[in-house]
Structure 1
Amino acid sequence: MFNVKNLSPKKLSAFTALILSIPISLGIYLLEGQWLIGVIAFAVIFLGSYFLIFSIIQNFIYRKIKLIYKFINQTKATKREETYYKYILPQKSIDEVREDVEAWAKQQSREVNILKRNETYRREFLQNLSHEFKTPVFAIQGYIDTLLNGALENPEVNRRFLEKAGKNAERLTNLIQDLDAISKLERGELKLSPQNFVIQDVIREAFESLSIKAEEADIDFSFKKGCERPMIVYADKEKIQQVVSNLIDNAIKYGKSGGHIVASVYNTDEKNILVEISDNGIGIPEKYLNRIFERFYRTAGGRNKDVKGSGLGLSICKHIIEAHGHTIHVRSKEDVGTTIGFTLDRKKE
């Protein structure tokens, strides 16, 4: 079916000239009664109308369209772009131009949305960073001011206040070290030293190192049945120890009294090993799942708990696993529990 919407400027000019010349030349033929005069009139009117209409489209309509394209590109036209404007653009139909502009508008909309999200993330990051630094700094300042104002002479108070100031100084040091670690990971400056090792051994070491903290929270550790068989992975052992410890530590922090943490290890295929740490804690609302690996991000439920730490643990885990060329994922449901898993390469011969 003939579609006027998809005509190029030349075809549109010819079509319009044809519509004008047929009735006029037919009228002249009927008035004069000579077919030769009618044919000549048709040719003259068709050619004159064609060039007039095409000239109007070129000089007015497509001149405006060229400005639109130059605005889209937002730069001085290169020789290649000038060639495009001169030879290719005039061959396009108005519909094709509209599609180009719509595609540009969608791209601009996507970029604006990305900028808005980045701005929101930047603002939240700075607020959280300020809070994380402010808390230990103000605590240290308060303890020191109290000691300087007379408490230093009181043996019952001075040591206790100095110990509390020391703990906050340690918290501040850990925060700076974690930020430095993330910055190095993002810049690719933190070098990995991969080796073959049994992943279950690393998990057991993390269980042992966090056993006292787990006992205080009345939480027990275990391997999922069938996952005890040693599986060898190829990765940076020290960094994976850090990931596993962070995940188990998080599971303790957000666990329930009398709860349990289960480690699972699966041989997914010939190349990858899947490691998962599961708990039956407070869980994470679905709307927060895509943000838990952001720096300092805590869910509303997480903020309500008395949880200590830099707030960078999961972000560091994500960067370490991605530095190994793998991904980390989360599954969770409120009041049911959370499972965080990651993959690693199988052993290298």
Structure 2
Amino acid sequence: MRIRDYLKDRFLFLTANVILFIIMCWVLIHFYEGIYLIAIFFCLWFVPLLSYMVRELLNNKKYYDEMTSVLDHLDRKYLLPEVTKEPPYLEGKLTHQLLKETSKAMHENVNKYRDMQTEYREYIETWVHEVKTPIASSKLIIDNNDNPAMKAIDYELKKIEGYVEQVLYYSRSNHVSKDFIVRKVSLKSVVANVIKRNSRDFINKKIAINIDDVEGTVFSDAKWLEFIIHQIIGNSIKYGKSGDGKVTVYSTKDIHNIVLTIEDNGIGIIDRDLSRVWENGFTGENGRLFSRSTGIGLYLCKSLCAKLGLGISLTSQAGAGTKVSIRFPMKEAL
């Protein structure tokens, strides 16, 4: 709180007092001719008035400066009335009480939507687990009826299974800690599992894969890491050149990180879309060419990497392919 602001707020009050004092002085001069009386009158009028204003200014300034300081260092701004003391004067007490009522209402509102979000997430997870049963049954029927039509159905069913898995991880992306187990993970083993899951897609699109240069052991959650790599490799297949495609996965090591890189020679990403590829739901120019794009995969990769303490970056050139790198900090790697 600045003194100038305080005086500006009290400008009309001070002006009214000065005008009244001038009028009283004029009366005293014309009727009583008492210069000394005017000086006494000035002291009796303005000394108590200015003393009161100075006291009020100091109290107000102390209270509002304290609130501003606490607010600047508070992560959850709505907790302000809970961590500040109630001021001793009436105006401050009323303000503090109003802030507490507002904070209480906001807490109730936040809890309401948090409960709704939790309920919705639990429903989604239940739905995912329920829908896995008919998918598994369908795959069993397909395995027992080997023919071209069933193979085509199996291929589409695999895509459905991938989207269902994406929904599950999306619903859990804000609660990684509840399903997160840190242990030693072999990068080559995780990459091999992902390649195995996508082997039929590599064969169908005749895309070559090279994982000979993947080495390194890191501390992470194997399941979440596999999902991230699966999303990236899935994009490499989706946007790869059929019959002439190539995906190369390799790892490098520097002073600070182990870096896992997934590189392809697919259609790439145009320059104006590069800055937005991590946004939720953004599909860009490629999304118009491929109707299957959802714009969620890379968003989930970025979000989950942030939760797991990993770095992720992407470079691409239209018509020349895309390269995605995942960085594992050395303090968490062996």
TM-score, length basis structure 1: 0.52
Q: Deviation of residue 163 (structure 1)?
A: 5.7
* 2:15 aligned with 1:20: no
Please give the alpha-carbon distance, in whole angstroms, between the structure 2 residues aligned to 1:168 and 1:207.
Answer: 18
Q: Deviation of residue 250 (structure 1)?
A: 1.1
Aligned to 2:309: 325
Q: Deviation of residue 298 (structure 1)?
A: 3.4
Q: Deviation of residue 14 (structure 1)?
A: 7.3
Aligned to 2:327: 343
Query: What are the Cα deviations for residues 164-191 of structure 1, in whole angstroms up to 9, with x where unaligned?
Result: 5555555444433442344345434424
Aligned to 1:263: 249
RMSD (Å), alpha carbons: 5.3
Q: Which amino acid aligns with 2:230?
A: S
**Alpha carbons of structure 1 residues 168 and 217: separation in structure 2 relative to 1, 3 Å:** closer
**Alpha carbons of structure 1 residues 348 and 255: separation in structure 2 relative to 1, 3 Å:** closer
Tell me, which stretches of 5 or more residues in structure 2 are unaligned?
Answer: 54-76, 96-101, 107-112, 114-119, 125-130, 139-146
Higher relative contact order (CA 8 A, sep 6+): 1
Please give the alpha-carbon distance, in whole angstroms, between the structure 1 residues aligned to 2:161 and 2:302.
Answer: 21
Aligned to 2:109: none
Aligned pair count?
261
Tell me, which stretches of 5 or more residues in structure 1 are unaligned?
Answer: 55-72, 92-103, 109-114, 116-121, 127-132, 141-158
Q: Residues 21 and 42 of structure 1 are in contact (CA less than 8 Å); yes or no, is this contact kept in structure 2?
A: no
Q: Residues 245 and 264 of structure 2 are in contact (CA less than 8 Å); yes or no, is this contact kept in structure 1?
A: yes
SS, match of residue 7 in structure 1: helix
**Alpha carbons of structure 1 residues 248 and 173: separation in structure 2 relative to 1, 3 Å:** closer
Aligned to 1:35: 35
SS, match of residue 302 in structure 1: helix
Q: Residues 28 and 37 of structure 1 are in contact (CA less than 8 Å); yes or no, is this contact kept in structure 2?
A: no
Q: Residues 313 and 325 of structure 2 are in contact (CA less than 8 Å); yes or no, is this contact kept in structure 1?
A: yes
Equivalent residue in structure 2 for 1:286, among 274, 279, 291: 274
TM-score, length basis structure 2: 0.54
Query: Percent identity among equivalent residues?
Result: 18
Q: Residues 221 and 262 of structure 1 are in contact (CA less than 8 Å); yes or no, is this contact kept in structure 2?
A: yes
SS, match of residue 37 in structure 1: helix
Please give the alpha-carbon distance, in whole angstroms, between the structure 2 residues aligned to 1:210 and 1:160.
Answer: 19
Please give the alpha-carbon distance, in whole angstroms, between the structure 2 residues aligned to 1:213 and 1:173.
Answer: 14
Query: What are the Cα deviations for residues 311-345 of structure 1, in whole angstroms up to 9, with x where unaligned?
Result: 76445544553453324343445445433222224
SS, match of residue 278 in structure 2: helix
For residues 298-337 of structure 1, the aligned pairs below 5 Å read 298-305=283-290, 307=292, 313-314=297-298, 317-318=301-302, 320-337=304-321
Q: Deviation of residue 194 (structure 1)?
A: 1.4
Q: Residues 253 and 259 of structure 2 are in contact (CA less than 8 Å); yes or no, is this contact kept in structure 1?
A: yes
Q: Deviation of residue 15 (structure 1)?
A: 4.0
Q: Residues 25 and 39 of structure 1 are in contact (CA less than 8 Å); yes or no, is this contact kept in structure 2?
A: no
Aligned to 1:274: 259
Equivalent residue in structure 1 for 2:225, among 240, 245, 269: 240
**Alpha carbons of structure 1 residues 269 and 44: separation in structure 2 relative to 1, 3 Å:** same
SS, match of residue 234 in structure 1: strand
Query: What are the Cα deviations for residues 58-107 of structure 1, in whole angstroms up to 9, with x where unaligned?
Result: xxxxxxxxxxxxxxx99xx99x887477254899xxxxxxxxxxxx9xxx
Q: Which amino acid aligns with 1:192?
A: I
Q: Residues 28 and 41 of structure 1 are in contact (CA less than 8 Å); yes or no, is this contact kept in structure 2?
A: no
Aligned to 1:195: 184
**Alpha carbons of structure 1 residues 38 and 81: separation in structure 2 relative to 1, 3 Å:** same
For residues 1-349 of structure 1, the aligned pairs below 5 Å read 4-7=4-7, 12=11, 15-16=14-15, 19-20=18-19, 23-28=22-27, 30-31=29-30, 32-43=32-43, 46=46, 83=87, 86=90, 88=92, 168-187=156-175, 188-197=177-186, 199-200=187-188, 202-203=190-191, 206=194, 210=198, 213-214=201-202, 217=205, 219-222=207-210, 228=213, 230-257=215-242, 258-270=244-256, 272-284=257-269, 285-286=273-274, 288-291=276-279, 298-305=283-290, 307=292, 313-314=297-298, 317-318=301-302, 320-346=304-330
Q: Residues 321 and 327 of structure 1 are in contact (CA less than 8 Å); yes or no, is this contact kept in structure 2?
A: yes
Q: Residues 214 and 249 of structure 2 are in contact (CA less than 8 Å); yes or no, is this contact kept in structure 1?
A: no
Q: Residues 188 and 215 of structure 2 are in contact (CA less than 8 Å); yes or no, is this contact kept in structure 1?
A: yes
Please give the alpha-carbon distance, in whole angstroms, between the structure 2 residues aligned to 1:302 and 1:176.
Answer: 20
Please give the alpha-carbon distance, in whole angstroms, between the structure 1 residues aligned to 2:250 and 2:154.
Answer: 38
